[in-house]
Structure 1
């Protein structure tokens, strides 16, 4: 099962080498991890928002794929505001919870960083075919073929595991064991199918490993059906990643909010 579904519109980003997209995302992430300030994260997020518009995802696909991130970011920021390091003027005190200027800025920085680091990864992964990614890892980065093909096989099984989980739930409901029971029943409904899925996964993995060994995967130098190359568009993508990282850092230093995490 491809991570890039046919419903996603073909785009220039989707046709790029996955290694260049991965490299751009890593560069931006590393730059944002060097400091915890809201200015650099906001600048990076704004620049990413302009570029993500060209990735080929419709508005509905974008919000569905990133919905978890939009929920997690505010919660991460709120937790930091309530329990983060206090500094500056005290804005609110309730019991052992103290909200200060410093904790609010830190919470805002954390929330923006979660979005700025997570959004490119999710969107770029949605426009990447697992086979193309494996070709790039093996041919461009020269990673061991056994490791790459094992990871590719695992990604291909993700869709099957999702279908197995759905069918297990339908089968239990058809037998009358899928509803009721309150909180304890809900736990049983989760752990029962989870254990069954674990057993299915182990059996399927063993069969897949045996089949791959029988076909000579990892026992001899590999040849590849499709050549993975880095072109001009990939250089532009890497340049954009470096540019976003550099602009975010420069603006944060100019605004006086940049604080190197190791200093």
Structure 2
């Protein structure tokens, strides 16, 4: 009888303890008693999330390097890239742009070298600035950023930026692409001022035969200046020099016979 009472008391005490613990766990956020008593139970924890930045691509297709952390700003790197030009080629500018768009550096350069021959004619180009911009594009096409930047700055310094519009022309797109790489800004942030042909003209001259001489915008010399004709050496005079005059004393005795001579 006593044993039964003890067992009943133990059960009642256990129920009371479990109920009290459950009530405390609900109020104070304690661990449930079943988890405390079960020491063999293990809980698998998932690894903490990592903040791995994903690459970001600019709207114009430029290469963009991502950065980690919410407090850090993204670094955008603008690389050499040209948008397509749907227009049918009309000038050498258009043909050269199409070649550069296809990364055909040699064909774009040949349009320049075929023009600057022994008898150059730049009439198929819109401006001397376009020739220099195309040469800069060829340099970037081949990975020579230093030469490309130098030629771009030379073109702007020599010819300015007036007459680069409208915005959908290949010479405006080429100008924006060049400046975007140099200044590390979006291409659309560069304005193409004015409208073609309100821009620089080629410097020309005329030779002695009436042929047009074109200045090569890629050289420091002025090829449009006429070359003076070489001077013809003067021929010696054919007039005979007068004989020296004889004085009377020189003619005296000319009728006398020489010694040993006789008249026949």
Higher helix content, 1 or 2: 1
Over alpha carbons, which structure has the higher Rg? Answer: 2
TM-score per shorter chain, which class? under 0.3
TM-score under structure 1 normalisation? Answer: 0.19
The alignment's TM-score, normalised by the length of structure 2, stands at: 0.19
Greater relative CO (CA pairs within 8 A, separation 6+): 1
